[in-house]
Structure 1
């Protein structure tokens, strides 16, 4: 029996080499790395990557990946020379909008523990004397950023991993991925098959080709990106002599520089400057058109990933570069090329296992910036069963099917290329493609003047212009203060009126976009009992809010499970990652014991859901149904089959807004009729359609968590305030042992409710929170609480913070006082929900 599985890594670039090292460091030595190019110059993106590492990112996960990459490459050295030149990073603003964006970025850096500071034009020039200081309004300086020597790092990683027992095979293309019985068995090459228990594709922009060999769609688009090196810049002559003597290509003393207002970045190459541009048109690349370069002919200037330079695309950027850096006016373009990089529909990397072929993994669309961090996460995933850094933003299974089509991947990836340096709001919607997925109520919503934002391909109304007239009736205590411009984007005061009507009357909410699964079969109960931390073994008609935990006890998702009959359950999930997890586990259970077979079906598109909520909800439904919707007839967290206007409906007594009401499910063909029946029935009660703006405010007032935002796999249930969802006396479920162990350890952090002291300042999320003058946490969700008349924020804070403590939220560089407050803010006794 083997001590460790046989692993084949496809690709010896910066990700594949790092992964081999991470695995071998952890004791896995039966590892083979196959590279189609020569090992000393593979010819992929790593071979020409400029190596800039800016760590700050809106994503905590991506920032952690980058920071680990910095630390690892700093420690990776040869003859005293590191693979990372920590010259610092400088992002400059030449417009007021960019300067404000840098303030937000500093907030991200502070939240994720990255040291940085905003500096004035004079200090920008001191750090980077080549700047035209008159153009600069300010900058963000991060001293720990810098330049990675990617190609050199690969060689040192290959040497280190080889010494640990890893086999590297160069100049050998992969021609197929063998599988048997739904699991990978080997990798085909011209020299034969390499047996494998696990295959990890780290093939970069070749990822879709490798994925196709395993029958897996890899939603990645190769795009060309322009990079040039100038001729000698006299002002730099002699300044870098002796710097990184063993790595002249990384010779630099000035910080890496971003001029995002013109889609440009800069780095030194000794006495020359390298310039990268995202300002040109998107240039998608078809893999079958790439030049074939024999191993013996490979060189720095000749490789598959380095395409011919299109000078006409770069000339406007050259003028912008000379304007910002006047020293370039005495230089020229010595060398330029169009280098291939990988882009995805949402800009994130692709990590995880194939949903259909067990043992086939991908780690694609990973740039040098995050390479070592991603490799560590994949190694942890393979060895420990999960990454210690949450991967929900990176998992390859996160996309809906429509988002993996070639046309969608192409359009959205090109759009991401164009917008890569744009100042984008957190709610910024795509302009195209749109209307991919609409609920049966969409036509009525348009008639009511819905303002739609998009998520997962779904069109979701955020408010309705038809409700604007309600603002004239809005009581003074419900009127919210005017917001500052950034917080006011993609917001309407109409949301206040919609929240008011929900709390005092009745409203319809379109909940169709929430992921719904049907889990059925003789083994359905056993599956859900094993995977969830809640007690599911209840009589038909019960609905349970529960958690799916990771092996270490962290929250991998929160779901609702409704038991429709003895062997059929409806699961309300968070997205495709949950679908993949439940499907994979159902397949394993079925294969182990066919008598306990389980089927998992995604029924989201075939069904629809209306949330009918508010104190007058019973009066509305009583007009169109003879079923008993009283407390005795349908208790809180119970479900039953009813008819509304003659339509068969699954009614669940749930409410994410904290008001009396039900989630009403029916098949998509009945959806429009159900909407019309309820809307007509509620006219005397002043029924309205309400959107996500009101919804988000109401759910925060009630203290309801949003998975992926308020809690992720790095958090355990008791820290997140979800201990109530753990089944009493339930002992055996995924994560149970780790959860018991965690409970024996003192908590270090806690999710806390904050109210903003000034009563007016609305923040948006991810801002740093200061306690006793030190940054100690960050905001997760935030909204204006229309019912309580003040802004609300939830934040992860040290466990020793207590109710009544004063903290400060940093927003655009300003400190906003807030108070740790008892939760929930509305209906703590649950009278409204259970009424």
Structure 2
């Protein structure tokens, strides 16, 4: 194989020592990024800011500075933990940049109290100190509150208040000492490029050559993006914040230098938060209607306008939106009943369709990076990750939830970004179930079988814009009474019909809509050499072979897992996970390789179960016997009138095939299989049963069970790595790995009635030792199956999982839990 088939990322895309880096925006993110880059030896850094320093007038200038570290996202929590760690060590003119007053979240409803138990589980999973406390302790921590309606609270002693402008200034000064330039009152007017690479940033005061440009412009991100021809999917929204006049109860209580002594207070049942400003209280509200802001209509900072308004990101206060929140504030804090609001404003900041930051190098323009939709809470952590990404080619923290390539094309329209961004604002403090979909816009993407699924009473959830059936009401008559009762939380977006569909798959045959699975076409003279170089397994097999393999990054982390079907010598069909996979492959592809995403123009039905062959064989003249069509083989054929590409693979642990055809023939394929399957008792089955079956077999889900933070050996995927067949991306790192100190571990819950859902902490010998990734009830096994990242443990080891504060006993098991000899798949 030629050594130059694939150019390493580091050679062309990372910021080398002689790179010219221009950062647009000197808010908290831009200053932090300059600090992190210069700390890594990249000294030719210029930061351009349209406003005056050190308070340029963006979101940083008005940020209330709340830092709550705990999030359902492990990545966001890691960002926040680093921010706390870094800001705790910073000071300016003797003033600390962080005040670790802690955080206190209150529950005034049973649902919120239960959710705080769930949040305490996340904190334990991600390594954040926290404890659930009774109302009396809440009163001790915040004496001004009325606890008559408080059921309890969640206290996190290491959270606190970031002084955003001071923290930005401290990082600015450190970066400047290392050689970085900060130029204020420079308004960016254009981005120059040549041959698909960024070359310079144009401002009203001159042009700045650049090999790398980072947009850290906050809610002006879409404006900068348009100059570069890059889509930035974020929506600026205004958020209300008000400060009271001095309160007698706070007189002399707080040091003006640190401003606060009580924890940041959240009253999420009323979409409110509170913090002290010496003898005043600041109140933020998410209870009002969404107030979207057009970033192209927000004027740049200028001195004349500054006299009339403090900053471009601070909009006039809308009293009519404030009134309900003021009443709720007074109900919680009686001291406010005689108080008045002294100041108020509507501060602008950014929301994305999924509430996560937008990070990474744009596919449209090499060298142009985004670090957008980042709150103060996560700012230093994001800056560290982006600096690592730019300098080393990868970050130490898994970034797949933040990668700008995560969005589907259907999720990038301005209407979608506005609808979902506004909904993210509304739901900031809502109790959100992990399966809960947004209501609008739906349906957006549907498979060709959608009409038939609706006829069968499909219960749809949504992912990647796709409508995905989770079960079918038509199968209600198959439910066997007497199964274990579920608690209210685990019963949401679930039905006992899922058990019936799983059983029917194990006993007869079922049709699964697999259309949302991403399909890539890789063709060209260099296709084989390219896939050999990019993946860990050996795909150099004869046409008709299917190979399970992995994409790794340079440090040996699992970027994705793939199913590669060789359909012809120079033609491969690749089953992938996200749009980021296509981007990663395209960035590495040589000129003689062509990649195309064919997902939207095709569809797929999984036909699985012991009677799958009885259903499919009469529809084709080709031999679908085990001898004629072996496991992990592919074939182009016809089923009835429909041309299909059939892959003999199974994600549920049963005999069967994935059947692909073009979208225009999808409905005909469904009807053909449905009619042929009637005599075999065929059913349509949903993703709820699918997830149960795949966990019984121990099949991993990338992004959930493993990410770039994990190696193949830790994830139990060493079988997909072939070190004996030549070089591949990530191989060098694998050869120097120390023995694993953690493993993806299968657990069986001891109580047949117990269920967990994922992200719960796992305790070994009474102490948190890891967390659950995927979990589902194994209907064949009669136990809930959970996979967790834990230190290496032997089978039979007893652990317990903290589920809403309850200790649920579980036992480490050997895998696979179901059909270890693979007799059902290979029959």
**What range describes the TM-score normalised by the shorter chain of this pair?**
over 0.9
Corresponding position of 1:598: 593
Corresponding position of 2:509: 506
- Mark the runs of 5 or more structure 2 residues left unpaired by the alignment: 1-14
Corresponding position of 2:680: 685
CA shift, 1:286, in A, is 1.2
CA shift, 1:525, in A, is 1.3
Corresponding position of 1:355: 363
Corresponding position of 2:782: 789
* Alignment partner of 1:715 is 2:710: yes
Matched residue SS, 1:331: coil
Corresponding position of 1:55: 69
Q: Separation in 1 of the partners of 2:699 and 2:162?
A: 43
Contact 2:16 2:42 in 1 (8 A): no
Give 1:635-654 correspondences, 5 Å limit: 635-654=630-649
- Mark the runs of 5 or more structure 1 residues left unpaired by the alignment: 591-596
CA shift, 1:136, in A, is 1.0
Q: Per-residue displacement from partner, 1:379-436 (whole Å, max 9, x unpaired)?
A: 0000110110000000011000111100000011001111110111000011111111
Corresponding position of 1:594: none
Q: Per-residue displacement from partner, 1:207-227 (whole Å, max 9, x unpaired)?
A: 001111111110000100000
Q: Separation in 1 of the partners of 2:790 and 2:301?
A: 54
CA shift, 1:731, in A, is 3.4
Q: Separation in 1 of the partners of 2:623 and 2:454?
A: 33
Contact 2:50 2:301 in 1 (8 A): no
* Alignment partner of 1:808 is 2:797: no
Match of 2:768 among 746, 767, 775: 775
CA shift, 1:288, in A, is 3.2
Matched residue SS, 1:135: coil
Cα pair distance change 1:717/1:239, threshold 3 Å: same
Q: Separation in 1 of the partners of 2:143 and 2:46?
A: 47
Give 1:261-660 correspondences, 5 Å limit: 261-295=269-303, 298=306, 302-471=310-479, 474=480, 480-586=483-589, 589-590=590-591, 597-660=592-655
CA shift, 1:192, in A, is 2.1
Q: Separation in 1 of the partners of 2:641 and 2:629?
A: 19
Contact 2:220 2:296 in 1 (8 A): no
Q: Separation in 2 of the partners of 1:489 and 1:83?
A: 43
Q: Separation in 1 of the partners of 2:580 and 2:96?
A: 38
CA shift, 1:647, in A, is 1.2
Contact 1:229 1:272 in 2 (8 A): yes
Q: Per-residue displacement from partner, 1:332-362 (whole Å, max 9, x unpaired)?
A: 0000001001000000000011112111000
Give 1:227-242 correspondences, 5 Å limit: 227-241=241-255
* Alignment partner of 1:817 is 2:812: no
Contact 1:806 1:819 in 2 (8 A): yes
The number of residue pairs the alignment matches comes to 813
TM-score (norm 1): 0.96
CA shift, 1:5, in A, is 0.9
Matched residue SS, 1:165: coil
Match of 1:19 among 33, 36, 45: 33
Matched residue SS, 1:794: strand
CA shift, 1:181, in A, is 0.4
CA shift, 1:81, in A, is 3.0
Contact 1:755 1:792 in 2 (8 A): yes
CA shift, 1:112, in A, is 0.2
Corresponding position of 2:55: 41
Q: Separation in 2 of the partners of 1:435 and 1:165?
A: 52
Matched residue SS, 1:695: helix
Q: Separation in 2 of the partners of 1:430 and 1:252?
A: 37
Contact 2:51 2:300 in 1 (8 A): no
Matched residue SS, 1:205: helix
Contact 1:41 1:298 in 2 (8 A): no
Corresponding position of 1:132: 146
Cα pair distance change 1:531/1:761, threshold 3 Å: same
Q: Separation in 2 of the partners of 1:694 and 1:342?
A: 37
Contact 1:480 1:789 in 2 (8 A): no
CA shift, 1:296, in A, is 6.5
Q: Separation in 2 of the partners of 1:291 and 1:181?
A: 32
Corresponding position of 2:174: 160
Q: Separation in 1 of the partners of 2:179 and 2:505?
A: 64
Corresponding position of 1:741: 736
CA shift, 1:2, in A, is 7.7
Corresponding position of 1:169: 183
Corresponding position of 2:11: none
Contact 1:48 1:300 in 2 (8 A): no
Corresponding position of 2:10: none
Q: Separation in 1 of the partners of 2:794 and 2:409?
A: 45
Matched residue SS, 1:338: strand
CA shift, 1:728, in A, is 4.7
Q: Separation in 1 of the partners of 2:452 and 2:645?
A: 22
CA shift, 1:759, in A, is 1.2
Contact 2:16 2:391 in 1 (8 A): no
* Alignment partner of 1:696 is 2:691: yes
CA shift, 1:331, in A, is 1.4
Corresponding position of 1:593: none
CA shift, 1:297, in A, is 5.5
Match of 2:663 among 651, 656, 668: 668
Corresponding position of 1:760: 753
Give 1:210-221 correspondences, 5 Å limit: 210-221=224-235
* Alignment partner of 1:119 is 2:133: yes
* Alignment partner of 1:827 is 2:819: yes
Match of 1:256 among 261, 264, 268: 264
